[in-house]
Amino acid sequence: MVLFKSFALAALSLTPSAVALPTLSELASRAVSSTQLCGDYANLILPDTPWIVYNMLYNAAQIVGTQCTNYDQVTTSKSGTKEVIWSSVTDIDYVESTNNVPKGYSFVGLTQNLETKLSAIDSIPTDYTWTRTNTTDFKGNICFDFITNDIKGDSTSSSSHELMLWLQYEGGQLPIGWTNGPSATIDDLFGTSWTLYEDVNTDTGITVSTLMPAKQFEGSFSGDLKDWLLALVEVGTFKKSTYVNVGNAGTEFFYGNAVMNATLGLQINLA
C-alpha cells in the first residue's frame, strides 16, 4: 500500500529569508483585490492580518490538470474577529500510477506569533467552516498542519515534528504510519475521540503525527488548537518547551474535480 505523504515543507517557516516580502504598493493593491493563485508555489501575504494564502503544488510534475487557491476577502465575524474567505479549486485527472500521490496543499498559513514556545502561548483560537462540491470522485482532506521543533525556527530538519489534525477526508486517503497501527488514542478532544498515527515521512525525514477523528467534522470546526498540542504533550509526542514554528489550515488533494469554499479565523495569542 502506498501511504499518503505530508507536505511538511519549510517554505512556510515564514522567516524573512523564506518569503519575499511585497512592497507597500503591492500590499495596498492586494488589500483590496481578490486574487487567483495557480502557480506551483503562488502565495499572497494579507496585510494587517496574521495570514498568507498559499497554493503549494509540491508534486506539480505529477498533476494532469489544474489547481488554484483563490483569495476572496477578509471580513469580520459577529464576535468581532477577523476571518479570511478563500477557496480551493481542484481539477486534477485520476491517473492510476499516481492516485496515491498527494499533489499539493491549498491553505491559509500563519505569519504572526510563530517560533514561540508552546508554554508561552495562551491560546490558538480557530473557526473553520467549509463546503466542498465534487463533480467527480475526489481524494483529499480538510486539516490543520503545524510544525514544532526544540530549535526555534527549524521546520525542515529531521528533528522537526509535523502535526496534522484531520477534520474530514475522503477517497481512501490514509495517514503516514497507518500500517504501523495506532500509537495512542485521545478521548474527549473537540467533542470526539481521536486515533494517533505516527511515522517518518521518507521524503523529508520528518516525523509526522496525525490525529484522525472517530467522527468526522461535517463542514465546521471551532476550538482552541492549544488543546490539541497539549493533548500530544500528554501522550509524550513532545514537551511544552517545544517551539511552534509553522501553523496553517487547508486542504490536501490527490485527484478530482472539486471546489472547496472556506472561511477561516486562526491566530496565536501569546501568554
- Does residue 261 fall inside a structural domain? yes
pTM tops 0.75, yes or no: yes
Q: Please report whether residue 205 resides in a domain.
A: yes
Does 216 fall in a domain?
A: yes
Residues in Cβ contact with 256 at an 8 Å cutoff, skipping those fewer than 6 apart: 90, 92, 94, 134, 136, 137, 138, 139, 140, 171
Residue 5 in any domain: the answer is no
Q: What is the pLDDT of residues 159-195, one digit of tens each?
A: 999 999 999 999 999 999 999 999 999 999 999 999 9
Q: Please report, rounded to a whole number, the percentage of residues in the chain having pLDDT higher than 70.
A: 88
Indicate whether 1 belongs to any domain: no
pLDDT digits (tens, 9 = 90+) for 43-75: 999 999 999 999 999 999 999 999 999 999 999
Q: Which domain holds residue 92?
A: 10-270
Mean pLDDT score across all residues of the chain: 90
SS3 223: strand
How many distinct structural domains can be found in the chain? 1
Task: Return the pLDDT at 66.
Answer: 98
In a domain, residue 3? The reply is no
CATH classification at residue 39: 2.60.120.180
At 69, list the grid cell. Answer: 487557491
At 59 the three-state DSSP class reads coil
Q: Is the pLDDT of residue 121 over 50?
A: yes
Does residue 226 lie in a domain region?
yes
> Has residue 69 been placed in a domain?
yes
